[in-house]
């Protein structure tokens, strides 16, 4: 499908600068775009490419002031990245949706499947499962007994939902995520062995949650592990038993949250962050990548380092970290000088 700069501007409530009839049929990165492509400029670091891009149309901010002549038509919008997200969403909706139930899927006779569901080949739907309207279960998914899944939720190939899990509406769970495996509970015994503690709880995922590929969320020992509304989890994340992740918190890849910790709402957590067990993280907290968090964090803090400290303090301390060898050498020299003076 082709769209003109005029149509794009009308859809995004933007302004055209250049040829309003310029046409595009694809979207590309600004440094790789060719004729007939739509691109965008959101990060100032990519500004030089706006003068060399082969794109026909570029989304830019309303306050962008070019310093050189441009070959492309501009569509000025308030937020170029947000505008691109709207266009990509529109494009995705134009792709035909999967429909129907494969004859090679297993569906328990006690399961309830609402209308417009898609269930792919070799999916397994257990006893007393409830699937909402327009749910999409891709091939090779496993849905355990008594699981409830809300409307418009998508489970991509290979997702496993253990018994008694609850998944809200408008959720997306990517391939090979495991929801509801046993929490890591083992009691030390006098003979140096470990006795497994039965994990009898479940996982509750509220509405509008997205869970990345390969992410695992453990069932609670008792009660529920809870992922609240609007949470976005990247790929390869481990969420321990009885953890609560607050509303609209986002977490990048390879994070780990140990059992019974509570994370507040609207937090932003970078990749490879590790949270100890039984701690509480406040609301609106930001954590830099690879932060190690051993204790509670107050609302609104920005932290980094391992063990974690306030970002401003860490940056000051890092000056000494990277010069540690020189500082140690100076201390050795001072100690020798003090000893020499004492011996006089």
Tens-digit pLDDT profile for residues 65-83? 999 999 999 999 999 999 9
79 lies in the same domain as 170 = no
Residue 300, Cβ neighbours under 10 Å: how many?
12
The tens digit of pLDDT for each residue in 102-116 reads: 999 999 999 999 989
Confidence of residue 243 (pLDDT cuts 50, 70, 90): very high
Mean pLDDT of the region 302-319: 89
167 lies in the same domain as 261 = yes
Last residue of a domain, one of 94, 117, 140: 94
Q: What are phi and psi of 115, to 5 degrees?
A: -70, 160
Question: What pLDDT, on the 0 to 100 scale, is given for residue 96?
Answer: 82
Question: What pLDDT, on the 0 to 100 scale, is given for residue 139?
Answer: 98
The tens digit of pLDDT for each residue in 33-68 reads: 999 999 999 999 999 999 999 999 999 999 999 999
pLDDT exceeds 90 at position 149: yes
% pLDDT > 90, the chain: 85
Residue 14 class from Cβ within 10 Å (0-12 exposed, 13-18 middle, 19+ buried)?
Answer: buried
Question: What pLDDT, on the 0 to 100 scale, is given for residue 16?
Answer: 97
56 lies in the same domain as 153 = no
Mean pLDDT of the region 249-267: 98
pLDDT exceeds 90 at position 1: no
Is 234 in contact with 251 (CB distance < 8 Å)? yes
Q: Which of 258, 256, 220 is nearest to 241 (CA)?
A: 220
What's the whole-number average pLDDT of the chain? 95
pLDDT exceeds 80 at position 310: yes
309 lies in the same domain as 197 = yes
Mean pLDDT of the region 185-194: 92
304 lies in the same domain as 332 = no
117 lies in the same domain as 186 = yes
57 lies in the same domain as 192 = no
140 lies in the same domain as 262 = yes
Mean pLDDT of the region 134-139: 97
pLDDT exceeds 90 at position 97: no
User: Which tokens in the block code for residue 280?
Assistant: 């509480």
- Which residues form the domain of 13? 3-94
Question: What pLDDT, on the 0 to 100 scale, is given for residue 119?
Answer: 98
Mean pLDDT of the region 298-317: 92
Mean pLDDT of the region 135-149: 98
- 140 as an active site residue: the answer is no
**Which position among 140, 208, 241, 278 bears the catalytic label?**
241
Mean pLDDT of the region 276-291: 98
In the sheet that holds 280-281, the strands lie side by side as 112-113, 130-131, 148-149, 166-167, 202-205, 224-227, 244-245, 262-263, 280-281
122 lies in the same domain as 14 = no
Last residue of a domain, one of 38, 62, 94: 94
Confidence of residue 95 (pLDDT cuts 50, 70, 90): confident
% pLDDT > 70, the chain: 100
CATH number for 10: 3.40.1390.10
Residue 322, Cβ neighbours under 10 Å: how many?
8
Return the C-alpha torsion angle 233, 236, 241, 245, nearest 10. -20
66 lies in the same domain as 106 = no
Domain count for the chain? 3
201 lies in the same domain as 332 = no
54 lies in the same domain as 80 = yes
Last residue of a domain, one of 94, 109, 137: 94
Question: What pLDDT, on the 0 to 100 scale, is given for residue 157?
Answer: 98
Question: What pLDDT, on the 0 to 100 scale, is given for residue 337?
Answer: 87
Q: Which helix (H) or strand (E) holds 58?
A: strand 57-61
Q: How many CA atoms lie within 13 A of 124 on its CB side?
A: 14
Is 132 in contact with 152 (CB distance < 8 Å)? yes
Return the minimum-mean-pLDDT range out of 206-220, 234-248, 298-312: 298-312
CATH number for 250: 2.160.10.10
């Amino acid at each position: 499908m082709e769209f003109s700069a005029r149509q794009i501007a009308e859809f995004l409530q933007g302004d055209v600068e250049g040829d309003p009839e310029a046409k595009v049929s694809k979207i590309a990165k600004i440094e790789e775009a060719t004729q007939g492509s739509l691109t965008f400029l959101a990060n100032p670091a990519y500004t030089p490419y706006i003068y060399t891009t082969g794109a026909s149309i570029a989304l830019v901010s309303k306050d962008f002031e070019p310093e050189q002549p441009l070959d492309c038509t501009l569509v000025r919008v308030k937020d170029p990245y947000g505008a691109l997200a709207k266009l990509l969403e529109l494009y995705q909706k134009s792709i035909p949706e999967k429909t129907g139930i494969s004859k090679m899927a297993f569906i328990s006779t006690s399961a309830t499947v609402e209308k417009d569901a898609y269930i792919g080949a070799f999916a397994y739907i257990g006893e007393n499962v409830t699937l909402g309207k327009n749910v999409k279960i891709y091939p090779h998914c496993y849905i355990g007994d008594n699981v409830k899944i809300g409307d418009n939720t998508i489970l991509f190939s290979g997702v496993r939902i253990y018994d008694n899990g609850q998944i809200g509406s408008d959720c997306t769970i990517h391939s090979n995520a495991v929801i509801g495996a046993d929490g890591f509970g083992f009691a030390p015994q006098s003979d140096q062995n470990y006795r497994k503690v039965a994990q009898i709880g479940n996982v509750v995922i509220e509405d509008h949650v997205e869970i990345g590929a390969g992410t695992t969320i453990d069932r609670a020992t008792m009660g529920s592990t809870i992922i609240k509304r609007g949470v976005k989890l990247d790929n390869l994340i481990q969420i321990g038993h009885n953890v609560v992740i607050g509303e609209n918190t986002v977490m990048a890849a390879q994070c780990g949250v140990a059992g019974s910790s509570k994370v507040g709402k609207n937090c932003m957590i970078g990749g490879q962050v590790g949270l100890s067990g039984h701690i509480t993280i406040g609301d609106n907290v930001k954590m830099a990548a690879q932060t190690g968090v051993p204790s509670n964090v107050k609302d609104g803090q920005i932290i980094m380092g391992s063990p974690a400290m306030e970002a401003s303090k860490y940056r000051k301390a890092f000056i000494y970290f990277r010069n540690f060898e020189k500082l140690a050498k100076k201390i050795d020299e001072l100690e020798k000088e003090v000893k020499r003076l004492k011996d006089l």
